[in-house]
Amino acid sequence: SLFGGELLELPECTKLMFPTRLILGGIQYIQENSPNSDVPLWIYLSQEKPRLIQKVLLKLYTKVQKAKLMEFKLLFLHHFVTLCDMLVAVVAKPQYHLSRYTVCWTTRVLLHLAPGDMGMATVCYLHRFLSTVLSSHPQLVDSLLPLITTTLVPLASHTSPVGKKVLEVLELLLVTHANTLVTVATLEPLPNDPMFAAMSEKYQQQRYATSQSTSLHAEIQHVLNTSQHGTAYHEGLSHLRRKLSENKVELAGLYKELQNSRGFSEDCEQSILHQLISMLIQITSGSDP
C-alpha cells in the first residue's frame, strides 16, 4: 500500500436474488399504479416509452451475442423471445396497438441472427412473431418487407431444415398475406427457382395489376425504386435486361427523349434512362464485386 500497510480489499458485491413471487408482485404493483392501468404494462411502455423496452431488449440481445457456449446463447435467446412474446401477447385485441418501433427493432434483430448458428431457433420464432403481428397489424410488417425478403431469400432451401423454415416465413408473407401487404408489388423479382413458384405467381399478380405497370418505363422505375430500398440488384437487373430486349421500340423512344433534352443537367435528370444509367454507374463503381 501507499503507507506500507496491508491493502484493504472491499468485499465482492453480492448479487441480489429475489423470489419470483416478489418480482411478479412488484410488476403487478407498477401495473396497478401506472397512468393507464387498464393497458398491460408492457404494451403501455412499448407505446409511451419505447426506448425503455428497447433498452431491455438490447440488454438481452447483447447477452446472446456475448455468450460463448451454444447452451447459453439459446438460453438468452429464449429470454429475448419471452419478452417479445409478452409484447405481442395482446396484439390481437383491437384496443391495443403495438409500437411500430418495437416491431421494427425486434424483426431486425431476428433477421441479423437468422444466418448464424442459431438459425433454426431464430427463424422459427420469426415465423411465430410475424404471424402474430400480421393477424391484426399487417401495416407494421409492410414497410419491413424489402428487408425481410432480401435477408431470407438467399437462406431459402429445400435441402436444409433452416432453409425449409425460411420458405415457410416467405410463403407466410408473399402468399398467405400477399393481398394485405401492399409492398409486395414493390419488391425485386424472386429467383427463377421452382421453390419460389407460388410466391412468384402472387408477386406477378400484385406487380402487374394494371396495364401501365407492364411498360418499359414502369419496369425501369421499379428497378430504381428497389435500389432505394437497398435490396439486391441481381434478379431485378436480370429481369430488366430481358424487358429491354423485348421492348426495343419503347427503349428507342426513351432514348430519343433523352437526346431531345436541352442539355441542362436538370433536364437530363428528369429522363428515366439517365437515372438508370447513373444507377448502373454507381453499382459498377462500388466496392462490392
Q: Convert the pLDDT of each residue in 173-229 to its tens digit.
A: 999 998 899 888 888 888 888 999 999 999 888 887 766 667 777 787 777 777 765
- Please list, in sequence order, all residues whose beta carbon lies within 8 angstroms of the beta carbon of residue 259, skipping any fewer than 6 positions away: none
**Is residue 259 domain-resident?**
yes
**Is residue 159 domain-resident?**
no
**Is residue 274 domain-resident?**
yes
The structure's pTM equals 0.74
Could you give the CA distance from residue 77 to residue 72 in angstroms, rounded to a whole number?
8
Could you give the CA distance from residue 153 to residue 118 in angstroms, rounded to a whole number?
17
Higher pLDDT, 111 or 227: 111
pLDDT score of 1:
46
**Is residue 146 domain-resident?**
no
> For residue 116, is pLDDT > 50?
yes
Query: Could you list the residue range(s) of the whole structural domain that residue 224 is in?
Result: 215-288
Higher pLDDT, 16 or 83: 83
Higher pLDDT, 288 or 190: 190
Q: pLDDT category, 128, cuts 50, 70, 90?
A: very high
**Is residue 251 domain-resident?**
yes
**Is residue 23 domain-resident?**
no
**Is residue 225 domain-resident?**
yes
Q: How many CB atoms lie within 10 A of CB 196?
A: 19
Number of compact structural domains in the chain: 1
> For residue 230, is pLDDT > 80?
no
Angle at alpha carbon of residue 235, lines to 170 and 175, rounded to 5°: 25
- The values of phi and psi at residue 46, to 5°, are -65, -25
**Is residue 262 domain-resident?**
yes
Average pLDDT over residues 137-148: 89
Q: How many CB atoms lie within 10 A of CB 180?
A: 13
Q: pLDDT category, 266, cuts 50, 70, 90?
A: low
